[in-house]
Structures are given as structure tokens and as C-alpha cells.
Structure 1
Amino acid sequence: MTHAQSHPKYPLMFSPLVIRGNRLKNRIIMGSMHSGLEDLPNAAERLSAYFVERVQGGVGMIITGGITPHPSGGRGAKLSEPSEVPMHRAVTDAVHAADPDVKICMQILHSGSIANVREPVGPSPVRSRLAKVPPVELDEAGIEEQIAAFANCAALAVEAGYDGVEIIGSAGYLISTFLVERTNQRTDRWGGSWENRMRFPVEVVKRARAALGDDKILIFRISAMDMLEGGLAWEEVASLAKALEAAGADVISTHFCWHESQVPTIATMVPRAAFAQVTGRLRKVVSIPLITSNRINMPHVAEDVLARGDADLISMARPMLADPEIVKKAWEGREDEINTCIACNQACLDHTFTGQLTSCLVNARACRETEITVAPATTARRIAVVGAGPAGLAYATIASGRGHKVTLFDAAGEIGGQFNLARKIPGKEEFDETIRYFGRMIEVNGIELKLATRVDADMLAAGGFDEIVIATGITPRKPEIAGIDHPKAVRYVDVITGKANVGRTVAIMGAGGIGFDVAELITHAGTPGSLDVDVFAREWGIDFKNHPRGGVTGVVPEVASSGREVWLLQRKASAVGKGLGRTTGWTHRITLQRRGVQMLGGVEYDRIDDEGLHIRVEGEPRLLPVDTVIVCAGQEPARELYGQLVARGLAPQLIGGAYEAAELDAKRAILQATELAVAI
């Protein structure tokens, strides 16, 4: 896919850019993500298929997942010896063969104090809260060894066919720990003053520049605003960028977090392109191109960032998981067919940080391109899919895209199922995009959609279908406690849809994902924090204007009160919220704690009556004198129709929540639906 002329709608996004003699055909980069494919025995095959699909989707440049330059940098993919070159060469050859105009750079990542090795290293023995042990303090010889390792890795990257490298100097990895005073407590020439603390990254860039030669791209990823108390001051960020340019960096890529920071930067409640303004400020300091990132998930958002002058290049990482063809669809005017990243983190970052293979909730094929292949059906079948929630939608659209004739039924008047509840939660408005995408795919693939239609076994049996797929979802569980039918007790579904009135004092029975969502909804003060950058900044204590150290030092988050007193309860004695997503759960806990929500675990429910909710905590009776009890006590599979069909001797397939409803899990439902739809 080449771009020989300007684009009428996205003239900046599709304008070329030349970096050290390398011509990028557009301004969209597939940003670095460690997928786990790098660590597999068949890494070359899997990575090649993964990247080539994005190349064919129109991206201008790819930056790989992090590759360590030294054994101390972390277990997993490494490039420090010539024997490791062939795997990388296979990947670069595949990318260049797919489109010679697309560039691919390798990210060099040394994890430093948070590396998953027995003896991590760092500038000082300061333990990260994410690590089990403090790092070993590097001596002068150790520092020289690490700098040489970066240069060696860069030289091997050239041998492996890469068009350049990105050196990551942010996020709490090795290079960034030299920069920040709290992790660099040295008194020699590598610590103390700012000039000494930035010596390590500058030396790394100088050596890497020499190793790369004159025609390869060198990108440096900087913590432009690290969201860290006592982090980098603006003056330090600016002077570092200038020094890196002087040392030989061709591009500065801006990053906006440490893994230890207590501010969400890529979760779904973060406004789109919220941090691009920081890149725009830094862009005025240096003369080389700047990359911005974070929550830029649609073409018009990218074009707007470029039009404001906030960046020269746009990094889209997770959006490339959600839809490999996002750039191609923008070029062809098919934006309504883009499967948008909703920033849920459930299958990408949550997987990365728990050692699982990365994928995508809305695109289960991501990183499974060689395992889940979508090919035209050899024989077209007539298929009935009952239920237009995430599982039913995924199955119907994939099966119809392969050539099957699909009829999709739902008793509701709209598609989306449980996603229609999710999108009503403040901070989850992005779920609208997934429903929009599936709605468009229904049109594109010619699916016969029958809404407000409650089908029965007789209707399906008489329909002459070759296959019947039951995706009828779940029904909320009604716990067996005294007073569950009391007027104070309401279902979470009725609260989210606005059918139930909620009082000033509230108890929420159940602290799973739904319980937290309901607590967010009823304590939200009505401000559009998930859509407005200024509101988001106030709520999380970010000062974009003055840029104090880390962007947050000395800034007190503003808490808008809903006026409600809320208890969030669970039967388990473990910490409330422990089962939430690894990379987003903490944001929900912090938000609710700041709003005064009281969280109790180890709760036994006795009864609901006029006085409120009677419970026991560690065997001691307690009364919560609440106006409303919201029941979020789990779900049951809705399998009545399935049972009726089986009783008639039919063999329907069961998918999604109707198959398993232990906890609502769209990730599992869409994966299951995808695997079955490509196999039929």
C-alpha cells in the first residue's frame, strides 16, 4: 500500500517524512509492545505473520517489542550475540518483502531494577515497589559494560536488517533510573547533579549512533512527563532532549509514565490524546521530529494532533492490535469499519504483566495470526445466531465474512448485549466504538438482523438452519437471603439503565468488575472526566501548564463529591478489588477510595429490611443503615433456549456468557466465538 498523492481528509497523516535518508510514507507508527511472541520457539514465524498483517494494513513504520541488550536486562528476547541475529533477520526480511516502503526499528530495552532476573542492576540499590529485591549497584566497569551492550545491540540490529533502533529511556527501566534522583543516589560522575545523571543516556546514544552508521534511524524514548512524585522537572526534560539530539538521536519519542506512577495514562478513562500537548511543548525545544502516543485510537484524533503541531509522528500501539488495517481503512474512507481500541487493557497489558501471550479483547486474532486463520468457507451454510452481545456479534460477523449466510436474532431492540451496560459507566464510553464497529460489519457482511425478536425452539427448528449458535448471555443471580425482594433491594441492571432510583446511602453487594462499575456510576459527580482533559487532569492531580516535577509533584487531586455514602462489599476475605485487571484495577480502587467509598471484605449477608442491610464481618453483626441495596451477586448462564433445542434432538453450539458466566468476560467470549467461527 503506497501513498502517491495527498489525502483530502488526512493530509498530514498521509504526508511523507524523511529521517536520515529513510522515507516514511505516512506519519503512523506501530508503537512498541512486548507481545510475548518474541520469546516463543517459533518466534520468527509468529512475529513475521503478526507484523506483515500490519504492514499490509498501511502502517508507515514498526517499532518492535523490547529486546534486551544484556543478560541482566531481563529474561526473554535478547540480541547480544551473533547467533541471535537470524531470528530477527527473518522478521525484517518478511516486513521488507511485504512492503519495501515500510521501515522497522528494533526497540532496545534494558529493564534495570525491575528486570525479572536473579540479580537486577541499577545506578543505586533502590528497590522498585514492583521488584522483589533491590538492584545491584553498578560500578564504573559495570556501567561501561552496559553502555557497550547497547552499542553492540545496535550494531547487531543493523546486521539483522533493521532500519534503526529505538532506545527506551523511560518507564522506570534502566536508563530512566539514572535520570531520577530517587533512584540515582550516586555521588560519582554518574550521579548527583543533573549533568551527571543524564550522562548515562547521552553516552548510550553516542555509542549507539556510532554503531548504527550514517543511514540508520536512532529513536530515543524519553519520559516527557513521568507522572512521578519527585520525577523529572520540565527543564530537565528539555535539556535532556537537546543533549540527545546533539549526541545523534534522529527522533524523540515521548512517554508519559513510570510503571510505579499513580496516574492512569493509557486506561479507557483517559481522554484521547490527553498527553500530546506535552509532546507539543517539547517539539519547540528541538529540531528533530517528535513522536507522541497514548490514547490516540482513531485517524481523526491523529490528524488533529498533527494539525495542532503537537507531534510529527503518531504512535499507535494497541490500536494496531485491535485493527491491523486501521491506516488502510482511513486511506480508503472506511473509518466506520475500524475496530477501535477501547483501552480496556484486558488482553494486552494485563497479559504482558502476568506473563501471558498478548492479544486484544476486540480482536482475538491479534498475536494469533498463525493459529486463527480466516479463510473463505468451502461450503456456505445457513447459520442462526441467537444473541447480539459480544460473543454473538463476533461469531456472526466472522462467519458471514467467510461466506456463510447468517441470521442474527436478539430480543432487545439494539445490538451490544452487556456492552450496552458497560458504555453507560463513566470512563467506559469507548465501548460505543465496538458496538458501532459490529453494527457496520452487520451491514458490510449482509447479515440478516432481527432485533426485538424473542425466538423459541419451534421457530429455530422450522427455520431450516444448518447450524444454530446460542449466545443468549447471562441473567443476574438473585442471592437467597432474607428480604431480597424488599423495596430497598435493586438489580444492578436497573441501576445502570436508570430504571431504579438510588438513595443517598447505598450498599453494593458484590465487588467484582460490575460492583466497581456500579460504584463508579453512582459516585460520579456528573463531570465528563473521561472526555475532558482539564477535568481529568484535576481529578488525577496533573499540572500540564506548569509541569512541576513529574507533572504531579505538589498537585492535590480534586475530588468531586456525589454526596452519597457508599459501602462496597464482598464475601471473600481478600482485599476488595484484588481480582480486577492487573494494569487498571488500581485506578478504580484509588478513584473510589478518594470518593470515600468504604470497602469491606469477608462479609456475610443476613437480611435486608426497613433498617437497611444486616451483615456479619468476622462473625460480628453489623447494620448498614442504607436507603438502597444494589445486588451485584454474579450471573447465571441463560441456557433455557439451549436446553429446549437439545431436548428436540438438535445440536446447537453454546458460546459466551451462556456457556460460562462465572464473571462477565468479553475477552473469553469473543475469543471462543472467533475460534468457532473460523472453524465452521
Structure 2
Amino acid sequence: LGTVLLDSEGCVTDYLLDYYRPRAAGGVGLVIAQCASPNAEAKALYSLGIYDDKFVPGLKQLFQVIHQEGAKVAVQLMHPGLLIVAGGFLAPGVPVKVPSITSWMTGDLPYTEVSEDDIDGYVEDYSEAARRAKEAGADAVELHACHGCLIGGFMSPLMNLRTDRYGGSEENRIRFPRRTLERIKEKLGQDFPVIVRISASDDVPGGVTIDEAMRQAATLEEAGADAFHVSAGLEYLTGLNIPCYTYPEAPILPLAEKIKSAVKVPVIAVGKISPELAEQRIAEGRVDFVALGRPLLADPELPNKLREGRRDEVRWCLHCNNCVTLKLPLSCTVNPWLYRESIPLPPPVEKPKKVVVVGGGLAGMQAAALLAQRGHNVSLYEKSNVLGGQWNIAAAVPGKEGFADFTDYLKRSLDKAGVPVTLGTEITKEQVLAMKPDVVVVATGAVPLGLDIPGATSKNVVQSNDVFMGKVEAKGKVVVVGARFNAIEVAIMLAEQGKQVSIVSRGKLGGKKGPQNTFVFKTLARQLLELGIPLYLNTPVLEITEGSVAIGWEGEILFLPADTVILAMGAQSENKLAQELKGLVPEVYKIGDCEKPRDASSATFDAARVAEKI
């Protein structure tokens, strides 16, 4: 996984060392350091530099840190090719090098088809990058050849339409990666391990299939591959390469097992694999290793905690994919300390304060537990009868049932910290003042937005939150107003139940500015297409009646039949209590959606920041 924790030149930073140190110490056997650019042309924004000898000292420092913590280290070598666009890290002035320019490559971008002379240069660039990795102390290198990166693109019949000796037949399409692998082995010796990360399927029509991938693996094994790290999915068109909550458990694992049957060298499986399933498949000999990416963002101590029987202490990855959005710096919904784990937490307080936390959602629970751990006298109040807040709604979405794991983790944290929790109590200003607190942390969340049009308060108009929670039933024909993820998810859920559903939104699909979490968006958009859900985007809702919704469509008024209208348009902060307490309590803090409606990772980060400050 890329971390964007380097500087713009691709040099190792203290942030990167702080990121890898706890993960190497957490019990893994091998750390595969993030993608490194084999030449300056391959440099994406914030990718690790390995295309010049000037990077060797920094790499040596990184590898020493990993070794000191007891793990082996490999570095992944990758020319991103088309991935530089799909990943959103196109550096200014850098061409987008591709095997072939195809009709589905959209946008006004500097696509450039590589020449045979380019390929000769790339082969040497990769071998020199591998040399630098070995010189810096790496135990192995990994050749990234999947997801539509440059080498992977040559292997894909969907991306490689060439008619020269590097295109057409399977033998020609694998010539570039085979030459690269052979050159690395020639330069570094047969004993220096080279892992090949391979796509077992492009997951799109016309792409690599598992049968071809098995033949590709066998060919690369002959060329010297020492292991295969099996992934899948063409990143530009699918989300399978980083499977989110919409996918079943371990969607790539069966493909890895087929690759295992085609080769004699070890096979590494990856992608949403539980520890129990990993142990089972390794014990059965169906794969040899399991790679962890996102789970180690969530909890770098995961292997040690499981080995020591501390399962209840694990912060489980939710596969929400917030970590792989374009948001900088790197973030994790369940781990607000991501890339800061090596920085000591604030010490216990010398003078404990009386702290009242109002609101038992993620932000409130996280803040209360952390404040109590530091020695403050903390009490938590939640107006509903359950903890979790709006996170309970998220966990009610089909596919997101695992989100409840984080609520359970925070509940255990509250219990362990000894925080008294009062449920079913909506705290007023007068009640807070009567407690005479030193600090009030307000985490009262947000309320759903409504519409200000005729008919918006009719009985057939409901909120998506209430539909997910089963408080109301969506009857008959349904129109969903909004295009954020919650709108898309409720539309998919109802369409899968057999209901006729349409989506109407003033903005783009995915939200006002378009989707930020592109990996999740691609899977949701694919489901919309498969279900045939009509979309009316950049379209205003004019009026709601008992049986229809009037919209402004292409300069005319169009009436959509609607027995139920579901609003899914975002939220506005509920911060009345915080405003009332301002100036009446020594310290008042707003956190989470109460401060500003954002994603869950922002809520937990707010909580950690406030807990460290008080």
C-alpha cells in the first residue's frame, strides 16, 4: 500500500519511518515496502524513489528500521503506467505511458504509447532499481505486474493492442515482464529473491482470465520468479484489487489457489482474508502466505495480539477503504494514530479534570475512553438507548455488518477504562451546569437534511437512515433523492429486494464534488449498472405529491412515479448544546459531526486530538 508519507522527490521521511516501525514490530515476517519508481518518468506524486543512487542512504535507513524490529523487507518496484491516473497521483509534466492507447482511456491526458526502445530502457531501469534495493539492504524485491500498471498492462489483452513483438499473442504480451525478471536475476544472481505480483484476473470483459494468468505464472516461474503475490482487478475499471465491504470475504483467494496449482514456488494470497481463513488455507497447503495491507493500518499489532490471545484488543479493519482515498494525509477510520504510532502518547495527567462527554457515537466513545485512560474523571451520556450513534446506521447497510466490530471495540475500551455510561438521557444545559464539570466534550452528531419544496413533509417522504434501521418501510415505486453513498446504497438495497427504484440528484453521482472514495464508488456504480437503476443527475426536485416526484429534466418537467420518496442528502451539525455552554464552562469542545459533518475517520481523529489536548 502506498502511504503518501514521502516528500515530493520520493525520499524517505521521518513520517515513513514512524509508519513502518510499529508494523515491522507488530509480528509480521516480511514487510513489502510501498511501490518504488524504477525511473524518473515512473515517479508518481509521493511514490518511493529508487531510480538514482541518491536514494540509497534513505532506503538503507528504512530497511534498517524494519530489520531492527525483527522483520524481513522487500521493496515493490513499479512503473505505474495507467495507474498514475487511476490512483490520482499524476505528477505535473509526467507522461502517462501505456502499452497501447485504447478507446476507453478518457480525459485530456498525456497518454503516450511506449516504444520498443523505451522497453529496452525500462528493463535496465528495473534491474538497476533492484540493484539499489539489494545495496540498501533489502532481502528481496517485488515486481509489480498487475492492476493495469505498465508491466501489468502489457500482460492484459484489454490494454495491450500492439502488433509488434510485445503484443498480440500470450507469448508476446509476457515478453516485457519476462525480460525484466531475467535481467534482474542476471544482475543480482539467482539467489536474490524476486516476488512477482500478478493479476489472476482483470475482472472485466476482454481482460486477463484465470486460465491465462495460470499460464503467465508458469512462464514467469521459468524465468526465475521465486514467489507470486496474487491479486486481481484492473484498477481503472474495477475495485477488486482492494476489495471493500461490498465484496464477500476473500474474493481473490480462490484465484490465488488456482495460481498455486500452476506453479511450484510459494504463493502469497491477499484481499479481505480473515485470520481464521488464512490459517486454514495455509494449513491445507492451498496457499503459502497471506499478505495484510489495510488490517495493519487499522492495527499494526494485529499478528502479535492474535498470537498472544488478545483478540478482543484488535482494532479490526472495516474494509471501508477510506485509507485509499485521495485524502491526505493517510487516514484510517478505526486508527486515528496512523503513521503517528511511534510518537509517545501524552502521559497521564497530574491534575485530573471532571469531563462530561455528551454523545455516544464514535467520536464521543473514542474521546471518553482516551480521556479516562489519561486519568481524567469522565462520564458519558447518550440520548438513545444504545451506543454507536450514526455508526449503527452504517452497520445496518447490507455488506457493512462488520462495521459493528468497531462499536464493540469502543464499548470494550469504555469498560476497560471504567467510564460510567448513561443511556436514554438527553442532557440539557441546566443538567450539565449542575454537574459542575471542568470540561464538556460535545459529540452530538448531525441530523439529516430535508428539502424545502412543496410536498417535502408528506407522509410518503422518509429519510434513508430510517429505511436502513427498519423504522419505516419503502413501499411501491421508490425515488431516492441524493447521490451520496448512502443514497446509492439504499437504492441498491431496495432494487435487490425487487423494488422499482430511481435516483435523482442536483449534483454528481457520489456527491457534490464527485466521489472521494473511488474504490468503493467503482463497486457501487457497477452494481447500479447491473441493477439497471435509472439516474437523473444534475437535476432539481421541484415538487413531491402523493404518487409522484416532479423533476426538472432536460428543460422540461418530468413526473416520476413514487409511492415512497427517500431523502439521502447529507446532514447538518447538531451543535445547539455546545453553543449554549459557550462561556459557562471552562472548556467546551465540539468533535465529530457536531463540529462539521465528515467521515468517520475525521470523528475518531477529532476525539484523539481533543483527548491529547485536555
Give me the TM-score of the superposition, normalised by structure 1.
0.83
Q: Give the Cα separation in 1 of the matches to 2:547 and 2:95.
A: 58
Q: Which runs of 5+ in 2 are unaligned?
A: 85-89
C-alpha distance 470-224 of structure 1, shift in aligned 2 (>3 A) = same
- Provide the residue aligned with 2:216 in structure 1: 240
Matched, 1:84 2:55: yes
Q: Please state how far the C-alpha of 1:230 moved relative to its aligned partner.
A: 1.8
- Provide the residue aligned with 1:447 in structure 2: 419
Q: Which moved more, 1:585-594 or 1:219-228?
A: 585-594
- Provide the residue aligned with 2:376 in structure 1: 404
Q: Give the Cα separation in 1 of the matches to 2:611 and 2:417.
A: 14
Matched, 1:349 2:319: no
- Provide the residue aligned with 2:263 in structure 1: 286
1:498-527 deviations in whole A, cap 9, x for unaligned?
A: 1212111112222223222322332233xx
C-alpha distance 588-234 of structure 1, shift in aligned 2 (>3 A) = closer
1:550-589 deviations in whole A, cap 9, x for unaligned?
A: xxxxxxxxxxxx1x222212233x4565633222223223
1:38-87 deviations in whole A, cap 9, x for unaligned?
A: 33577331111111111222111111110011122133432122111011
- Provide the residue aligned with 2:87 in structure 1: none
- Provide the residue aligned with 2:237 in structure 1: 261
Matched, 1:620 2:556: yes
Q: Please state how far the C-alpha of 1:414 moved relative to its aligned partner.
A: 1.7
Contact 2:504 2:541 in 1 (8 A): no
One-letter amino acid of the counterpart of residue 516, structure 1: I
Given candidates 363, 379, 385, the residue that maps to 2:357 is 385
Matched, 1:521 2:521: no
Q: Give the Cα separation in 2 of the matches to 1:233 and 1:481.
A: 51
Report 1:505-584 matches (<5 A): 505-525=477-497, 562=498, 564-572=499-507, 574-575=508-509, 579-580=514-515, 581-584=517-520
Q: Give the Cα separation in 1 of the matches to 2:595 and 2:585.
A: 19
Q: SS of the residue aligned with 1:430?
A: helix
- Provide the residue aligned with 1:35 in structure 2: 3
Matched, 1:45 2:45: no
Q: Give the Cα separation in 1 of the matches to 2:117 and 2:547.
A: 71
Given candidates 64, 74, 98, the residue that maps to 1:105 is 74
Runs of 4+ in 1 over 6 A off after TM superposition: none
C-alpha distance 130-98 of structure 1, shift in aligned 2 (>3 A) = farther
Q: Please state how far the C-alpha of 1:231 moved relative to its aligned partner.
A: 1.9
Report 1:479-490 matches (<5 A): 479-490=451-462
1:627-648 deviations in whole A, cap 9, x for unaligned?
A: 1122234322222222332263
C-alpha distance 54-258 of structure 1, shift in aligned 2 (>3 A) = same
C-alpha distance 509-288 of structure 1, shift in aligned 2 (>3 A) = same
Matched, 1:183 2:159: yes
Q: SS of the residue aligned with 2:272?
A: coil
Contact 1:280 1:309 in 2 (8 A): no
Contact 2:438 2:585 in 1 (8 A): no
Given candidates 327, 331, 346, the residue that maps to 2:303 is 327
- Provide the residue aligned with 1:585 in structure 2: 521
One-letter amino acid of the counterpart of residue 588, structure 2: P
Q: Please state how far the C-alpha of 1:287 moved relative to its aligned partner.
A: 1.4
Structure number with higher relative contact order (C-alpha < 8 Å, ≥ 6 residues apart): 1
Q: Please state how far the C-alpha of 1:146 moved relative to its aligned partner.
A: 0.8
Q: SS of the residue aligned with 1:642?
A: helix
One-letter amino acid of the counterpart of residue 267, structure 2: L
- Provide the residue aligned with 1:309 in structure 2: 285
One-letter amino acid of the counterpart of residue 441, structure 1: S
Give the share of equivalent positions with the same residue, in percent. Answer: 31
Q: SS of the residue aligned with 1:594?
A: helix
Contact 1:602 1:618 in 2 (8 A): no
Q: Which moved more, 1:285-294 or 1:641-650?
A: 641-650
Q: Which moved more, 1:321-330 or 1:452-461?
A: 452-461
Contact 1:121 1:137 in 2 (8 A): yes
Q: Which moved more, 1:153-162 or 1:405-414?
A: 405-414
1:267-307 deviations in whole A, cap 9, x for unaligned?
A: 211111122111112112211110011112x4223223324
Q: Please state how far the C-alpha of 1:180 moved relative to its aligned partner.
A: 2.3
Q: Give the Cα separation in 1 of the matches to 2:238 and 2:475.
A: 31
C-alpha distance 384-130 of structure 1, shift in aligned 2 (>3 A) = farther
Matched, 1:657 2:593: yes
Q: Give the Cα separation in 1 of the matches to 2:537 and 2:112.
A: 39
Given candidates 259, 274, 291, the residue that maps to 2:251 is 274
Contact 1:302 1:314 in 2 (8 A): yes
* CA RMSD of superposed structures (Å): 2.4
Q: Give the Cα separation in 2 of the matches to 1:179 and 1:159.
A: 29
Given candidates 447, 459, 462, the residue that maps to 2:431 is 459
- Provide the residue aligned with 1:367 in structure 2: 339
Matched, 1:671 2:597: no
Q: Please state how far the C-alpha of 1:651 moved relative to its aligned partner.
A: 3.4
Q: Give the Cα separation in 2 of the matches to 1:620 and 1:429.
A: 42
Q: Give the Cα separation in 2 of the matches to 1:180 and 1:249.
A: 19
Q: Please state how far the C-alpha of 1:330 moved relative to its aligned partner.
A: 0.4
Q: SS of the residue aligned with 1:406?
A: strand
Q: Which moved more, 1:622-631 or 1:157-166?
A: 622-631
Q: Give the Cα separation in 1 of the matches to 2:203 and 2:533.
A: 25
- Provide the residue aligned with 2:142 in structure 1: 166
Contact 2:237 2:522 in 1 (8 A): no
Q: Give the Cα separation in 1 of the matches to 2:481 and 2:158.
A: 42
Q: Please state how far the C-alpha of 1:389 moved relative to its aligned partner.
A: 0.9
C-alpha distance 428-168 of structure 1, shift in aligned 2 (>3 A) = same
Q: Which runs of 5+ in 1 are unaligned?
A: 1-32, 526-561
Contact 2:7 2:13 in 1 (8 A): no
- Provide the residue aligned with 2:441 in structure 1: 469
C-alpha distance 591-311 of structure 1, shift in aligned 2 (>3 A) = same
Q: Please state how far the C-alpha of 1:152 moved relative to its aligned partner.
A: 0.6
Matched, 1:639 2:575: yes
Q: Give the Cα separation in 1 of the matches to 2:57 and 2:372.
A: 40
One-letter amino acid of the counterpart of residue 357, structure 1: P
Q: SS of the residue aligned with 1:230?
A: coil
Q: Give the Cα separation in 1 of the matches to 2:486 and 2:190.
A: 55
Q: Give the Cα separation in 1 of the matches to 2:213 and 2:569.
A: 48
